[in-house]
Every structure is written in structure tokens, then in C-alpha cells.
Amino acid sequence: MNWSKEFRLRNKPFVEELLNSSHVSESCSKSIFSTLDGIERLDDWSIQMINSWADFPPKGLFEGSLTDFGSYDQCLSIIDNHMIGSAQYCSLDLVPYIPRPMPKQHNLFHKIPNLLPIDIIQNKSNALNIMATEASFFYWMSFRTGVCVPNKCSLNDVKSIGQLVSDKFGLELKAVKCEIKANILINSKQLFAIGILTNYIALSVTKGDVKRFNVVLYIVLRLARLLPQLMIFILLTFLLPLLGSGPLWAEVVG
């Protein structure tokens, strides 16, 4: 059995239970099942979609990484088709269930009591216990994860599914934002702002007299303003190899 068929068989019961419990629209349900079928067939759009999802929990959690965006551009580059319409990228903000509202005089250095059973609290090496000691951060911060879903699912559909999944992980869904690929349209206010800025630059150079506008002098002055910054930037690139490290540092900087 190949991995794609195994993936569908393993996840289909969970997805069916999830969709039946969340009461999402019929078009959303069909598009999600079409995505699972597409993964089994190794359709490029469905593999792109599932490969655009973020990991949860995010890598580096114990170093303070709370965010994994997944692949925003890959998700929105999926070509439209009749099974899912287009793809949409959604970011979800999640927090653990902690006492609310925040207690008075509470700060990051205060621990939240009674978050875990006593046997876990006594086990100092338990991962949940380690996380609970830093739980106060979630009064101000949240996990953020990115998912790629069919555009036939409305924002309410995504919220409904997201709430059920987060409940299973013992998390609270705070916010959902979804985006689709759209053409950039400039409205009248933006055109007006562009016109004002263009006129301001022209007037500042010519002092109100168009005949005084000297193209060569204008270019020279612009270069005189930009070249010193560019030279400093070039010099800094020679120092960059000394300023950091990481898995891709040598490739990017070297």
C-alpha cells in the first residue's frame, strides 16, 4: 500500500467525524473529501495543498517558537479546479485553556496554579509540566499556524472545524483569518494619493516652475542621496559572516 492511499484511509474516519460534528456546508464537505481523494491519486493540486500546511506544534517550541506559517505562496498558487474552486490560506490563533480574566497584578514571572494533575506537576521532566511553567505568556501571546483549505469552505466553516480540532488538543481558538489570491485593484483614493505625492515631488524640485526642471541634475541629486547608503550596505556584507550562525547561514551569507 502506497503512502497516499494509507494517508487517505488513516485520515478519512477522523475527517468524517469532524465534518459531521461541525455542521459545515455541503460544498465545503465535498471539497474536503475531493482533496483526500486527490491525495490518494497524487493529484498535484491536492499534494500542494497538504504540503502547504504548517506543523503543529511548531518546531522549536521549547525555544519559544509559537508560529509556523506553512507555505503561504504555495497555497495561493494552486490552480483553480472544479473540485475545490480555488485554494485559500487561513491562519489560526490558538491558546491553551488558562484561567480568564487574567488575575490582577499577574505578570510573566507568576506561575498559573492547578493547570495540571498533581502527578504531572511532581514529575519535573514531564514536557507538559515544563510548558505549564511558561503558561503566563499566553495571556499576551498565542500559537499561530497556517493551513491551506478549499475556497468552497466559508470563514464560518473554517472556524467551526478549527474549533473542534483545537478542542481535541485542549486549545482555544481565538481568531481565524483567511485570504485568497486576488488581483490588485487601485481605488480612487489610492490614485489620488499617488497623484498628490507625484505633484509634491515635482513641485519640491521645480519650486513651482516646470521650466526649471533639470533631468540630469535631478538624477545626480538622487544618486548623491542613495550612493552613501549603498556603499555602507556593501561594506556591511563583508562583516555579515561574523554576525550569526545557523543551518542556512553559510549558504545565504557565504
**Domain co-membership, 34 together with 116:** yes
Helices (H), the chain: 3-22, 26-41, 44-51, 72-76, 118-122, 127-132, 155-168, 188-206, 215-239, 249-253
- Look at residue 54 and give its three-state secondary structure: coil
pLDDT recorded at residue 51: 92
* pLDDT band, residue 113 (cuts 50/70/90): confident
**Domain co-membership, 142 together with 84:** yes
- Look at residue 98 and give its three-state secondary structure: coil
* pLDDT band, residue 201 (cuts 50/70/90): confident
Most confident range (mean pLDDT) of 124-128, 193-197, 207-211 is 193-197
Give the rounded distance of the alpha carbon of 235 from its chain centre: 34
Q: How many residues does the chain have?
A: 254
- Judged against a pLDDT cut of 70, whether residue 229 lies above it is answered with yes
Can you say whether the dihedral through the CA atoms of 149, 90, 86, 44 is positive or negative? Answer: negative
pLDDT recorded at residue 52: 92
**Domain co-membership, 25 together with 125:** yes
* pLDDT band, residue 148 (cuts 50/70/90): very high
**Domain co-membership, 164 together with 55:** yes
- Judged against a pLDDT cut of 70, whether residue 248 lies above it is answered with no
End residue of a domain, out of 141, 163, 180: 180
Percent of residues, the chain, with pLDDT higher than 90:
11
Report the C-alpha gap between 193 and 50 in whole angstroms. Answer: 41
**Domain co-membership, 54 together with 137:** yes
End residue of a domain, out of 180, 201, 227: 180
**Domain co-membership, 192 together with 102:** no
* pLDDT band, residue 119 (cuts 50/70/90): low
pLDDT recorded at residue 133: 76
Q: Are 146 and 126 in contact (CB under 8 A)?
A: no
Rounded mean pLDDT of the chain?
83
End residue of a domain, out of 159, 180, 201: 180
- Kindly state the cell numbers that stand for 103: 488575575
pLDDT recorded at residue 254: 63
**Domain co-membership, 105 together with 174:** yes
**Domain co-membership, 159 together with 192:** no
**Domain co-membership, 147 together with 113:** yes
ω into 103 cis (within 30 of 0): no
Sheet holding 171-180, edge to edge: 67-68, 143-150, 87-96, 171-180
pLDDT recorded at residue 149: 92
Region 99-114: mean pLDDT is 77
**Domain co-membership, 12 together with 97:** yes
The more confidently predicted of residues 210 and 16 is 16
Count of structural domains, the chain: 2
Report the C-alpha gap between 82 and 38 in whole angstroms. Answer: 12
Region 170-177: mean pLDDT is 88
**Domain co-membership, 94 together with 212:** no
Domain that residue 42 falls in: 3-180
Pairing, β 67-68 against β 87-96: unpaired
**Domain co-membership, 87 together with 153:** yes
Give Cβ neighbours of residue 146 (< 8 Å, ≥ 6 apart): 52, 53, 54, 68, 69, 70, 71, 72, 75, 89, 90, 91, 92
pLDDT recorded at residue 208: 66
